[in-house]
Amino acid sequence: MSSTRESLHGLWSSRWVFILAAAGSAVGLGNIWRFPYLTGENGGGAFVLIYLGFVLLIGIPLMVAETIIGRRGRRSPVNAILLIAEEESLSRHWSGLGLMGIIAGFLTLSFYSVVAGWSLAYVYFVLTSSFATANSISSEAIFTNLISSPLQLLFWHTLFMGSVIWIVSKGVSLGLERAVKILMPLLFVMLVLMTIYSLLVGDALGATKYLFATDFSSLTSDVILLAVGQAFFSLSLGMGALMIYGSYLPHDASIPRTCLIVGCVDTLVALLAGFLIFPIVFAYGLEAGQGPGLVFVTLTVAFADMPFGQVFGFTFFLLLTVAAWTSAISLLEPVVAWSVESKGWSRNSSSWLAGSVIWLIGILCLLSFNELKDFTPGGRNIFDWSEYISANVLLPLGGFLVAVFVGWRVSRMTIASEFGGNSSKLFSSWLFLLKYCAPIAVAIVFLNSSGLDLLFR
Ligand code: PHE
């Protein structure tokens, strides 16, 4: 039997809503913006393969572990861990893991909102005429113009963050559920349509080779760290998003089954995005390794060329913004739930307060493309640092600690009861991956890469 404790913030109306919400959290800019650009920067196939390996062997088992903590504790990450630690007579210091997640959420959302702002800006741009005649040169100019204007970036970042805060302030069932139910399926359909188009008109063969030809010569310990980081980032692991969503999961839902579905959907969307972007990159001679602008520059060219490009472009960027929005909601929710529980603040004030702090950090991130462009301590600007520390340090570290906590500290009986089902084979395979594979792999990758330099710098 799973715990019968009740959530203070409400429950999802069914297991399907959890799947949609968790998929909404997982599927976002990580899949459509970050995965293609990292793949392009790191030479394709080998990066993709390592990423897929990490998703399967570490990512999905950790998703299960985080959801178990959430549903067992039925509180925000900090308090859920605290409750479980008390029940299991473990140190209260484990709740530090939840606090670390809050910091990771702040940092992640601050740069995430800036990129989501780009997507929002593109919804608007696509309707203007310069966009309709874009070619590979002018599409780069459109992107460069956008990121070099602090005021434009501030406007879109503010609009995006404001809408995230607003929906989180409305609460679980009213705000979140309604949003994900309609929009996630729509995004998926749109993505499939676009990918088919891109494969038909673009260089499908070149893209397939690029995505799957495994040339391990480009593989360094840093690339492996990036692949781990991307697996964590894309599956929303290591900062409590799944714990909080798990805490709203009905008692009778099977955690392994739901997590497997969410993990597969997330991976499928990332691969679809790869097959959407790269055929166009190669067909139009665009630069695969151009970095964060990749998706925007590439798709602009494609939309300019395709029939009904404006309609498609408008819908696509709108849905990308929505995907980012449902992920952003899950980045803000843990800290808001925590301050409602622990500080006794209302949901409304908690959302606006936490959201405003994130908005302020986001301003520093957006300035790193223009006014603060030359401020690059240690070779990275503020935006790059936020992205790096969040995805490559805090999320993997959070995941490592979750694996140790659930795999080694919480009693087998407790986790088995939340894991549910009657296949002891499935349970023991999962536990093996969680106990040994996840912590050891993350530790090795971490120790071998500049993640370590970063900690001891
Ligand atoms: N998974 C989200 C994406 O791919 C980002 C995210 C990371 C959301 C961590 C929540 C927690 O865009």
DSSP string, 89-133: T--GGGGHHHHHHHHHHHHHHHHHHHHHHHHHHHHHHTTSHHHHT
Does residue 128 surpass a pLDDT of 80?
Answer: no
Note the pLDDT of residue 172.
Answer: 63
CB of 108 sitting under 6 A from ligand 1:
yes
What phi and psi values does residue 416 have, to the nearest 5 degrees?
A: -65, -35
Q: Under a CB-based contact definition with an 8 Å cutoff, are residues 240 and 102 in contact?
A: yes
- Domains of the chain, by residue range, sit at 15-451
Which residue minimizes the CA distance to atom 9 of ligand 1?
A: 236
pLDDT recorded at residue 237:
95
pLDDT of residue 205: 94
In the predicted model, what is the mean pLDDT of residues 136-150? Answer: 90
- Please, are residues 287 and 143 in contact by the beta-carbon 8 Å criterion? no
Q: Whose CA is nearest to atom 6 of ligand 1?
A: 236
**What pLDDT, in 10s, does the model give residues 256-265?**
999 999 999 9
The protein residue whose alpha carbon is closest to atom 7 in ligand 1 is 236
Q: What is the pLDDT of residue 4?
A: 66
Mutate to test the pocket of ligand 1, among 34, 115, 228, 234 (most ligand atoms within 8 A of CB): 234
Tokens of 92: 């209260």
Work out the average pLDDT over 284-292.
87
- In this prediction, residue 112 carries a pLDDT of 97
Give yes or no for residue 28 CB within 6 A of ligand 1: yes
As a whole number of Å, the end-to-end CA separation of the chain is 47
Q: What is the pLDDT of residues 292-346, one digit of tens each?
A: 999 999 888 888 887 888 888 888 898 899 889 989 999 998 899 899 988 889 9
Burial, 29: exposed, middle or buried (Cβ in 10 Å; 0-12, 13-18, 19+)? buried
pLDDT at 129 over 70: no
Please give the pLDDT value at position 35. 95
- Residue 233 CA, closest ligand 1 atom number: 7
**Cα(391) to centroid(ligand 1), Å:** 9
**Residues 236-258: pLDDT tens digits?**
999 999 999 898 888 888 999 99
The CA distance from 49 to 334, in Å, is 31
Q: Is 26 in the pocket of ligand 1 (CB under 6 A)?
A: yes
SS3 74: coil
Report pLDDT digits (tens) over 86-100: 999 999 999 999 999
Higher per-residue confidence, 155 vs 337? 155
Total Cβ atoms within 10 A of residue 76: 30
What CA–CA distance (Å, rounded) separates 119 from 115? 7
Query: H helices of 306-449, where?
Result: 309-342, 347-367, 382-388, 395-404, 412-419, 424-432, 438-448
Distance 117 CA to ligand 1 centre (A): 16
What value does the mean pLDDT take over residues 279-297?
Answer: 89
> 15-451 architecture in CATH?
Up-down Bundle (1.20)
Note the pLDDT of residue 53: 95
Ligand 1 geometric centre to CA of 331 (Å)? 7
Model confidence at 451: pLDDT above 70: no
Q: Please give the structure tokens belonging to residue 285.
A: 């001679």
Q: Give the pLDDT of residue 87.
A: 93
Q: How far, in Å, from the CA of 269 to the mean position of ligand 1? A: 13
Mean pLDDT value across residues 17-43: 90
With cut-offs at 50, 70 and 90, classify the pLDDT of residue 49.
very high
Q: Ligand 1 atom 4: the closest Cα is on which residue?
A: 30
Atom index in ligand 1 nearest the CA of residue 235 equals 1
Q: Of 449 and 155, which is predicted with more confidence?
A: 155
Atom of ligand 1 nearest to the CA of 395: 9
For residue 271, the model assigns a pLDDT of 95
Judge if the beta carbon of residue 234 lies within 6 A of ligand 1: yes
Is pLDDT of 83 > 90? yes
Spell out a b/e string for 164-175, using b for 16 or more CB atoms within 10 Å of the CB, else e.
bbebbbbbbeeb
Rounded mean pLDDT of 369-375?
94
DSSP 389: I
Q: pLDDT value at position 455?
A: 52
Distance 32 CA to ligand 1 centre (A): 11
Is the pLDDT score of 175 beyond 90?
no
Which two three-digit tokens encode residue 13? 């109306």
Kindly state if the Cβ of 239 falls inside 6 Å of ligand 1. yes
pLDDT value of residue 328: 95
Q: How far is CA 133 from the centre of its chain?
A: 32
As a whole number of angstroms, the distance between CA 238 and CA 215 comes to 30
Q: Is the pLDDT of residue 126 over 90?
A: no
Q: What is the mean pLDDT of the chain?
A: 89
Tokens of 181: 């139910």
The Cα–Cα gap between 95 and 77 comes to 8
Q: What is the pLDDT of residue 34?
A: 94
pLDDT at 131 over 80: no
Mean pLDDT calculated for residue range 164-193: 81
What pLDDT was estimated at residue 135? Answer: 78
Q: How far apart are the CA of 52 and the centre of ligand 1, in A?
A: 16
Tokens of 319: 């849905």
Tokens read off for 253: 């839902």
Q: What is the DSSP string of 429-452?
A: HHHHIIIIIHHHHHHHHHHHSHHH
Question: What confidence category does residue 274 fall into, taking pLDDT thresholds of 50, 70 and 90?
Answer: very high
CA of 166 to the centre of ligand 1 (A): 19
Whole-angstrom distance, CA of residue 132 vs CA of residue 313: 10
Q: What is the pLDDT of residues 402-449, one digit of tens each?
A: 999 999 999 999 999 999 877 789 999 999 999 999 999 999 888 876
Q: How far apart are CA 225 and CA 232, in angstroms?
A: 11
Decide whether any atom of ligand 1 lies within 6 Å of the 327 Cβ: yes
Residue 33 Cα, ligand 1 centroid: separation in angstroms? 11
pLDDT score of 115? 97
Q: Which residue has the higher pLDDT, 270 or 217?
A: 270
- In order, the DSSP letters of 122-134 are HHHHTTSHHHHT-
Q: Is 207 left (phi over 0), alpha (psi -120 to 50) or beta?
A: alpha
Average the pLDDT over 341-363 and give the result.
94
Say if CB 317 and CB 160 are below 8 A apart: no
Distance between Cα 283 and ligand 1 center (Å): 30
Checking 367-376 for CB contacts under 8 A at 24+ apart, the result is 367/150, 369/147, 369/148, 369/153, 370/147, 370/148, 370/149, 370/150, 370/153, 371/150
Nearest of 191, 236, 255, 179 to residue 19 by alpha carbon: 255
* Alpha carbon of 201 to ligand 1 centroid (Å): 31
Candidate from 268, 320, 331 with most ligand 1 atoms within 8 A of CB, to mutate: 331
